[in-house]
């Protein structure tokens, strides 16, 4: 059973921002791409954490998993309103929700779990987090990975990494995984101009120079893809139609 995403809280911190959908954010059909949505989440999370003092260099956050529910794909929208808030906490992790509403009816809802690291880049307990945890209420988030691996006999495709896929920490950026997913859905899979659910679990970081192979299962209703390094999944993504 798929859990319902938590609603906008009545109390607690909500950080809001606006984005204009640029040419580089759109697919050929005008749709706001999944990698653009993931980048919006990353950017607004950084802006929010910087404002409260929960950002770098004293606090680092590593995404563990993300769920993107495209309720109404933003296609004709030019601007989107973003709102983000804490969806729950754990000893060394916190959940972050984001709601994206377009000026012409587009709507996307996201939830994600981030592991908290200290300045030494090791997991660190979260203390004094009341500014965020009020919105999360008593909800407890889990860092347990949930997505099934695609069958091991699935189609295998090389995924060459580029320098532009790498962020300041020397790893493949969260949004870059969704570029690979978008590419695999070009020929077949769920229609991204209709409602879909896209999820991704991060097992371990991928560095520039790694030989990555995508192991996928693909049909007209879903795509499952593992990002394998040395035949071990570093990340797993699933995209499924929900209409």
Residue pLDDT, tens place only, 32-55: 999 999 999 999 999 999 999 999
Mean pLDDT of 56-69: 96
pLDDT score, position 3: 72
Which pLDDT score, from 0 to 100, does residue 2 have? Answer: 61
Residue 69 CA: distances (Å) to CA of 11, 135, 150, 198, 207: 24, 21, 21, 6, 28
CATH homologous superfamily of 15-136 equals Hotdog Thioesterase (3.10.129.10)
- What 8-state DSSP symbol labels residue 65? E
Residues 99 and 195: their CA atoms lie apart, in Å, by 15
At residue 1, does pLDDT exceed 70? no
pLDDT in tens, 113-157: 999 999 999 999 999 999 999 999 999 999 999 999 998 888 899
Asked if 38 and 68 count as a contact pair (C-beta separation under 8 A), the reply is yes
pTM of the entire structure?
A: 0.95
Work out the pLDDT band at 190, boundaries 50, 70, 90.
very high
The answer on pLDDT for 108 being more than 90 is: yes
Parse the chain into domains and list their residue ranges: 15-136, 155-241
pLDDT above 80 (res 60): yes
CB 78 within 8 A of CB 90: no
User: Average pLDDT over the chain, rounded to whole?
Assistant: 95
Nearest by Cα to 200 from 146, 122, 151: 146
**Which of 3.40.50.720, 3.10.129.10, 3.90.70.10, 3.40.50.300 is the CATH number of 155-241?**
3.10.129.10
Element (H, E) at 175: helix 174-184
**What is the separation, in whole angstroms, between the first and last Cα of the chain?**
16
pLDDT tier, 206 (very low <50, low <70, confident <90, very high otherwise): very high
Which stretches does DSSP call E strand in the chain?
15-20, 60-72, 79-89, 93-102, 107-117, 155-158, 196-202, 212-218, 222-229, 232-241
> What pLDDT is attached to residue 188?
86
């Amino acid at each position: 059973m798929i859990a319902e995403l938590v609603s906008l809280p009545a109390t607690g911190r909500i950080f809001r921002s606006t984005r204009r959908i640029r040419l580089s954010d759109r697919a050929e059909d005008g749709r706001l791409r999944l990698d653009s949505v993931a980048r919006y989440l990353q950017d607004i999370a950084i802006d929010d954490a910087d404002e409260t003092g929960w950002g770098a260099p004293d606090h680092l956050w590593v995404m563990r998993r993300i769920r993107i529910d495209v309720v109404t794909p933003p296609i004709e929208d030019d601007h989107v309103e973003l709102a983000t808030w804490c969806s729950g906490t754990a000893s060394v992790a916190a959940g972050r929700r984001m709601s994206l509403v377009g000026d012409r009816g587009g709507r996307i809802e996201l939830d994600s779990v981030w592991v908290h690291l200290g300045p030494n880049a090791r997991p660190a307990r979260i203390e004094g987090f009341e500014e965020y945890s009020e919105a999360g209420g008593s909800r407890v988030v889990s860092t347990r990975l949930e997505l099934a691996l695609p069958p091991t006999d699935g189609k295998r495709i090389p995924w060459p990494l580029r320098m532009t896929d790498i962020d300041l920490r020397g790893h493949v950026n969260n949004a870059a995984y969704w570029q690979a997913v978008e590419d695999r859905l070009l020929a077949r899979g769920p229609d991204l101009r209709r409602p879909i659910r896209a999820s991704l679990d991060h097992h371990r970081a991928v560095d520039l120079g790694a030989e990555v192979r995508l192991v996928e299962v693909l049909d007209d209703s879903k795509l499952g893809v593992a990002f394998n390094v040395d035949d071990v999944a570093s990340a797993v993504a699933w995209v499924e139609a929900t209409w």
